[in-house]
């Protein structure tokens, strides 16, 4: 379990994450697959969910490579945003006055672990 950081450390870490997020490039959700020749259909395919339905699109090799990178960027963006949220909650709940409570809020309730 991580011990709470000082405000200056949190701010520095948050800035680092924000810079990483700003440098990501194109993003996309979904999955791409290289089915290989002889699969009985398109070799490269992009699949995603739209309103609960699976939608698949045939791709060229260049589209496949670009979407593969965009999907990896999307997953990294989600990871970075999750950590930024955690740092934000840690800052808000440790630095700003709160209401009186019978028991202190736990780290799990605050989303810090």
pLDDT in tens, 17-58: 999 999 999 999 999 999 887 767 778 999 999 999 999 999
Beta carbons of 95 and 84 less than 8 angstroms apart: no
- Which pTM was predicted? 0.78
Tens-digit pLDDT profile for residues 63-77: 999 999 999 999 999
DSSP the chain: -PPPPPHHHHHHHHHHHHHHHHT------SEEEE--TTSSS-SEEEEEEETTEEEEEEE-HHHHHHHHHHHHHHHHHHHHHHHHHHHHHHHHHHHS-----SSPPPHHHHT--
* Mean pLDDT, rounded, for 93-103: 77
């Amino acid at each position: 379990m991580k011990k709470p950081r000082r405000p200056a450390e949190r701010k520095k870490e948050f800035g680092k994450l924000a810079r990483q997020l700003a440098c990501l490039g194109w993003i996309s959700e979904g999955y791409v697959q290289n089915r290989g020749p002889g699969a009985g259909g398109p070799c490269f395919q992009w699949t995603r969910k739209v309103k609960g339905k699976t939608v698949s699109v045939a791709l060229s090799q260049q589209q496949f490579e670009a979407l593969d990178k965009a999907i990896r960027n999307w997953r990294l963006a989600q990871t970075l945003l999750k950590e930024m949220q955690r740092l934000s909650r840690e800052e808000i709940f440790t630095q700003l006055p709160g209401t009186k409570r019978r028991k202190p809020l736990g780290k799990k309730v605050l989303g810090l672990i």
